[in-house]
């Protein structure tokens, strides 16, 4: 086993800090690119721990920022929100829509009505399981009389109906 492999295993086991690992790797002549790659591998190998602190190095933000997604107006609030919450559909690497909390979706003839199938087995931090009612509630936060930045695009949605526990139209 190489000395670098030894330090990598110590980092995975939680027996050394990130700072110490980076220092040892640099002393061994490892490039920054390789260290970053190795730290990514280490992060993927480590068991997740509940809790912790998220620190972001971003310009902006305000003392009035809140977790109320209908008030988000700048990149700091949006980035924080997207680290803690999921969307129904997201853009894939090729900029085409891919499922996230919506497992699948279909347009009815004419594309005026859409049916979304909600992913089963998604659990909130409090143990509650995601269902159609949660999705409808979240979408309705951006409809009607709201300050939400998503209110404009949501004006086209005239109604949201629950078809089953895991399906909305």
How do residues 10-37 score in pLDDT, each as one tens digit?
A: 777 777 787 887 787 787 787 777 777 7
Lowest mean pLDDT among 25-39, 68-82, 86-100, 115-129: 25-39
Q: Does pLDDT of 65 surpass 90?
A: no
Angstrom CA distances, 24 to 76, 78, 80, stand at: 34, 36, 32
pLDDT at 63: 86
Spatial separation of the C-alpha atoms in residues 97 and 90, rounded to whole Å: 6
Q: Do residues 150 and 88 touch, judged by C-beta distance below 8 A?
A: no
Give the rounded distance of the alpha carbon of 160 from its chain centre: 24
> pLDDT at position 130, please?
97
- pLDDT at residue 117, as a whole number: 98
- Above 90 in pLDDT, residue 155? yes
Structure tokens at 47: 């068991």
Q: Residue 112 — very low, low, confident or very high, per pLDDT cuts 50/70/90? A: very high
Backbone phi, then psi, for 139, in 5-degree steps? -65, -40
What is the band of 46 on the pLDDT scale with cuts at 50, 70, 90?
low
Checking if the pLDDT of 48 tops 80, the result is no
Helix axes 32-45, 3-12, angle to 10 degrees: 40
């Amino acid at each position: 086993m190489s000395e670098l492999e030894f330090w990598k295993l110590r980092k995975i086991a939680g027996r050394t800090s990130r700072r110490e690992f980076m220092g040892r790797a640099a002393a061994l002549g490892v490039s920054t690119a390789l260290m970053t790659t190795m730290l990514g591998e280490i992060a993927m190998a480590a068991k997740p721990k509940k809790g912790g602190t998220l620190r972001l190095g971003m310009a902006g933000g305000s003392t009035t920022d809140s977790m109320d997604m209908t008030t988000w107006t700048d990149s700091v609030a949006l980035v924080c929100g997207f680290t803690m919450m999921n969307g129904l559909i997201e853009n894939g690497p090729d900029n085409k829509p891919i499922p996230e909390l919506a497992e699948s979706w279909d347009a009815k003839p004419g594309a005026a009505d859409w049916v979304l199938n909600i992913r089963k087995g998604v659990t909130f931090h409090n143990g509650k399981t995601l269902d159609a009612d949660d999705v409808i509630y979240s979408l309705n936060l951006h409809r009607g009389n709201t300050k939400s930045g998503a209110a404009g695009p949501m004006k086209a949605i005239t109604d949201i109906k629950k078809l089953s526990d895991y399906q909305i139209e």
